[in-house]
Every structure is written in C-alpha cells, then in structure tokens.
Amino acid sequence: MDKITEKKATEKTIKLYEESGNLFDFDAEVVGCLKNDEGYDIVLDRSAFFPGGGGQMPDTGFINDGGFEIGVSDVYIKDGIIYHRTSVPVSEGRRVRCRVDEEKRLCRMQNHSGEHIVSGLAFSIYGCNNVGFHMSENEAGIVEFITADFDSELNAEQIRKLEVEANKAVFSNFKFECFYPSPEELETMNFRSKKEIKEEIRLVRAGDVDLCACCAPHVSASGEIGIIKIKDFMRYKGGVRVTVCCGFSAFADYCARQTAAEEISRMLSVKQTDIAEGVSRLLSEVESEKRRSRRLCDSLCSSIENGFDAESHAVFEPQLDAQSRRNLATRLAEKRGGIVFILSGDDDGGYDYAAAVPEKSAASFSLRSAARELSVSLGGSGGGSPVLICGRIFSDCISIQKYISGRFG
C-alpha cells in the first residue's frame, strides 16, 4: 500500500477534466497509495480532479470507498500522474466513486474563461498583451475576483468598451473548445502567449474572441459565465491592472453592493438611484456646518483672548477644536511672553491640549522636553515643534493645573 506498482507508475493518469470541465462525478480504479508526512497520496487510473495550473487552484472533493467518504484536500501532478491528497489510505485495486467540489470548480471556470475573453478582446481591440493573471479566493476556496495585467495603459472609456464587448461575447454563447494541435498545425496557428514549449500544447479556443495556450478546465460555452464585470482598474508597471469578477463571483459582488446601497439610501432617506445626489447634499451640509463651527470657535477664541489673565499658564475650554487650540495657544503665548496651555476635554476622558511659547523663547526653552515630561508625569502622549506642541493627557483638571503652575509658574 505504501507504493505504486512498477507497471502502473509509468502510466499517466487519464485527464477526464480535459474532456469536459463540467464533469464532477466519475468512477475510477485506485492504482496506488503513497504515504507521506501529511497523509496519503491516492493515484487513480483516471481523474476529473484538476491538479492546478494556468493560474487556477487545484480541485478538492471526495473519494467514496464503499460508502466511506474520504476528503480530497489537494491535488497535484508529476510526470503525468495525478496525486490526490487524503487523510486516510485507500487500497490498490479498489473501484471508487469520486466527486469534485462543483461550486469551487464552476466558479473558477467562470472566472478563468471570463479572463480569456477579456484578455482576447484587450489584445484584438487595443493590442494589449496579458502579462499577469491571478485568482483571489476567500477562505472557503470560492473566487471573489481575478486580476489581469496588461502591458499597455487603458483609460476609463476603453475599459467600459472592453466590458461591454466582453459581455456581448458572453451573451452570444459561443463554444469553448480545448484541443491538442499537431506540431504541423501549431506552426500555422496564431495564439496568445505563444512560447517555445517542448511538450504538447493544449489550446483553448473561445469562439472568434480568443485562442490561448492553457491547461485548465473551462466552461463549455460562454453563456455559462453569466456576466463579466470589471470592478476596477489601475496603472501598473507601465500598463494597467484590471480587477474582474465573473458569474457567481459577479453576482456575490452585486449583492454586497446592493446591500450597501440599501443601507446608504436608508441613512440618507433617498432612493438608491439618488444616492450620489444625497451624498453631495450631505457633504455640502457638513462643509456649511464646519464654517459655522469655525466662526463660533473664532468668536470664542477672541472672547478668551480679550479676558485672558496674563499671569495664567492654562486655559480650559471644552468647546475648542484642535485648530482653535493651536491658534489660541500661539496668540496667547505671544501676548503673555511665556508658555500657555489650551486644554479641551473632561476628567473622565482626558484632555487634548496645545501649548506654545513665543518665537523669541524657542532657543532658551525646550518645549519638546516639556511635552515628554508632561506625558510621564500625567500620562498621555504629545510632541511637536520648538514653539508649538500638541497631545493628550489623562488626568483631572486640578492635577493638571497644579502640575503646570508648579512646573512653569
């Protein structure tokens, strides 16, 4: 049980996934079982489990041995033999019923086949070459989105056209054909990603849209992809990176966006189609409120400045924002000719502060050292320039007044 027989070791596994990407259940004979540090590698005479490649992850699923279901956690291929990772052994010679995880496989095929369409159209319309492809999956192994990198930049209008043309291709429901051309045929064929490969090359033809070398299973017809949505694009290494989701991934993304839109429309009390207008109105109201608050703070600062006791080192005013504290501390420090603290907050939550010294005192007085001392003595943090420091201290009003008077009085 610990090794494959010499006869079977030289026989490559029949790749059922190449015959049809939609084959999820199949029968097979166990021809080998290898023990390893992580469990067992089961070898079947034929398999619909895809071992990974071409940017697509390996399949998972189950092997049913006489009613006992064994999980397949990983699949890989070596020298044409496909190995299925399990936690328990299966005896050689057993006939087993196998099942590929359909949800994962179908979602991966939709996105991978969708990428072929997008890449083929990007090449035929704009002359862009695909130079990178990645599938992003969640913890359950379900594709959330894919990224495709192209060697030329595309603008927003070109991206929109690419998306429209990609979905026209989906709706036309053309066939996806996977085949191995002969060396003579290969010489005359023009396909994407044409490289010098010594072994047999498997090509995937997506109607008249794309012809590309690829080892992964694909949908049988473009209509199975459902929809292609380009979520985002960005400049990347002199070209462009597009983020795409297809099929069930696009549907999941739409549902998430729909939920968010419903929440936002409810909060703004507007229709979903009027969300942008509602947000614009809210931002305008926020800016108006900021201006009103600034006027009130300026008025309050003027009032405090007019009634300021030149002998005082600290002013407690809960209504001031950070900018007002900084401005007032600077003005009062110049007026007093020494250090002044402006503090806002309360004994329970602590006090935000700004402290300043006149420009003429900066050379002889280390305000940064004062910030460090304050943090150590009263608890908190702070820092800044030689003439202005800001921070937060966690102490009560009386203790703060005593410290400031004792230290700087």
Q: Do the strands 340-346 and 314-316 form a parallel or antiparallel pair, or are they unpaired? A: parallel
Which residues form the domain of 378? 289-408
Per-residue model confidence as pLDDT tens digits over 203-237? 999 999 999 999 999 999 999 999 999 999 999 99
The residue out of 100, 132, 165 marking a domain boundary is 100
Residue at 279 is within a domain: no
Residue at 212 is within a domain: yes
Are residues 304 and 380 located together in one domain of the fold?
A: yes
Q: What is the CATH number of the domain that holds 321?
A: 3.10.310.40
Cβ-based neighbour number of residue 243 at 10 Å: 17
The residue out of 100, 130, 150 marking a domain boundary is 100
Q: What is the CATH number of the domain that holds 118?
A: 3.30.980.10
For residue 1, give both structure tokens: 């049980």
Q: Which residue type occupies 377?
A: S
Residue at 317 is within a domain: yes
Are residues 122 and 259 located together in one domain of the fold?
A: yes
Query: Looking at 1-140, which runs of residues are DSSP E strands?
Result: 14-15, 25-36, 39-44, 46-47, 61-65, 68-72, 74-78, 81-86, 95-100, 130-137
Are residues 251 and 360 located together in one domain of the fold?
A: no
Per-residue model confidence as pLDDT tens digits over 351-362? 999 999 888 877
Per-residue model confidence as pLDDT tens digits over 319-348? 788 888 888 888 888 887 888 899 999 999
Residue at 382 is within a domain: yes
Residue at 49 is within a domain: yes
Residue at 397 is within a domain: yes
Structure confidence at residue 187 as a pLDDT band (50, 70, 90): confident
Q: Do the strands 25-36 and 74-78 form a parallel or antiparallel pair, or are they unpaired? A: unpaired
Are residues 249 and 115 located together in one domain of the fold?
A: yes
Are residues 89 and 220 located together in one domain of the fold?
A: no
Are residues 178 and 35 located together in one domain of the fold?
A: no
Are residues 218 and 119 located together in one domain of the fold?
A: yes
Instruction: Say how many residues make up the chain.
Output: 409
Work out the average pLDDT over 126-138. 92
Are residues 89 and 113 located together in one domain of the fold?
A: no
The upper half-sphere exposure of residue 193, i.e. CA atoms within 13 Å in the direction of its Cβ, equals: 21
The upper half-sphere exposure of residue 68, i.e. CA atoms within 13 Å in the direction of its Cβ, equals: 11
Q: With CA atoms as reference, report the closest residue to 16 among 44, 53, 54.
A: 44
Burial of 185 (0-12, 13-18, 19+ CB in 10 A): exposed
The residue out of 66, 84, 100 marking a domain boundary is 100
Q: Do the strands 130-137 and 143-150 form a parallel or antiparallel pair, or are they unpaired? A: antiparallel
Are residues 139 and 26 located together in one domain of the fold?
A: no
Given a contact cutoff of 8 angstroms between Cβ atoms, the answer to whether 197 and 189 are in contact is no
Residue at 24 is within a domain: yes
Residue at 392 is within a domain: yes
Per-residue model confidence as pLDDT tens digits over 294-312? 787 677 777 777 777 767 7
Number of structural domains (the chain) is 3
Are residues 96 and 120 located together in one domain of the fold?
A: no
Are residues 219 and 109 located together in one domain of the fold?
A: yes
Rounded to whole angstroms, the Cα distance separating 3 from 91 reads: 11
For residue 9, pLDDT over 70 is answered with no
Residue-wise DSSP of 211-226? EEE--S---SBGGGG-
Q: Do the strands 340-346 and 350-356 form a parallel or antiparallel pair, or are they unpaired? A: antiparallel
Are residues 72 and 111 located together in one domain of the fold?
A: no
Q: What is the CATH number of the domain that holds 32?
A: 2.40.30.130
Per-residue model confidence as pLDDT tens digits over 260-297? 999 999 998 889 888 899 899 999 988 888 888 778 76
Provide the CA 322 distance to its chain's centre, in angstroms: 34
Given a contact cutoff of 8 angstroms between Cβ atoms, the answer to whether 261 and 272 are in contact is yes
For residue 45, pLDDT over 80 is answered with yes
